[in-house]
Amino acid sequence: MDKPKGFKMTAQRRVILEELRREKSHPSADELYLRVRRRLPDISIATVYRNLELLSENGMIRRLWEGSGARRYDGTTEDHYHVSCEGCGRLDDVPLAAVDGFLERARALSAYDLRGYRLEFYGLCPACRADFENDRI
């Protein structure tokens, strides 16, 4: 995605963005901080937080809905769906094409001024499923 007007891409922001896009697990700021620190040993957690917020305000990354637990970030800005693990909280992408006209159909049925929607699948990830099956033997 292009850089929005008036947004300054500093060296720190570039590293944070690169590390987030490389990471498919939708990390929290704390998790991302540990990765970024390997490349920028002097960076503080507060700087990582602040830059993640700035990047998401500028539409270069996505801030994921905070249910329970820490706020997570997504380097993929195109519409896509997520699946969360009820066992360990892991969050992955589901490569399912967005449903055409879904939002428009909901708008026709709701008095709200709908701006978007979130759809999240849930279940057990492969690791948790294996644990679960081993426990039953």
Q: Binding residues for Zn ion, per CB under 5 A?
A: 74, 76, 85, 87-88, 90, 93, 125, 128
Shortest spacing between CB 111 and Zn ion, in angstroms: 30
DSSP string, 73-110: EES--S--EEEEETTT--EEEE--PPPTTHHHHHHHH-
Q: How far is the CB of 127 from Zn ion (least distance, A)?
A: 5
Cβ distance to Zn ion smaller for residue 102 or 121: 121
Residues 6+ apart with CB under 8 A from 90: 25, 84, 125, 127, 128
Closest separation between CB of residue 59 and Zn ion, Å?
15
In the complex with Zn ion, the residue whose CB is nearer, 17 or 125, is 125
| List of residues 6+ apart from 74 with CB closer than 8 A | 20, 26, 61, 62, 63, 64
Question: Would you state the torsion angle of the CA atoms of residues 42, 23, 46, 53, taken in this order, to the nearest 10 degrees?
Answer: 140
Report in angstroms how near the CB of residue 25 gets to Zn ion at its nearest. Answer: 9
Q: Which is nearer to Zn ion, 67 or 105 (CB)?
A: 67
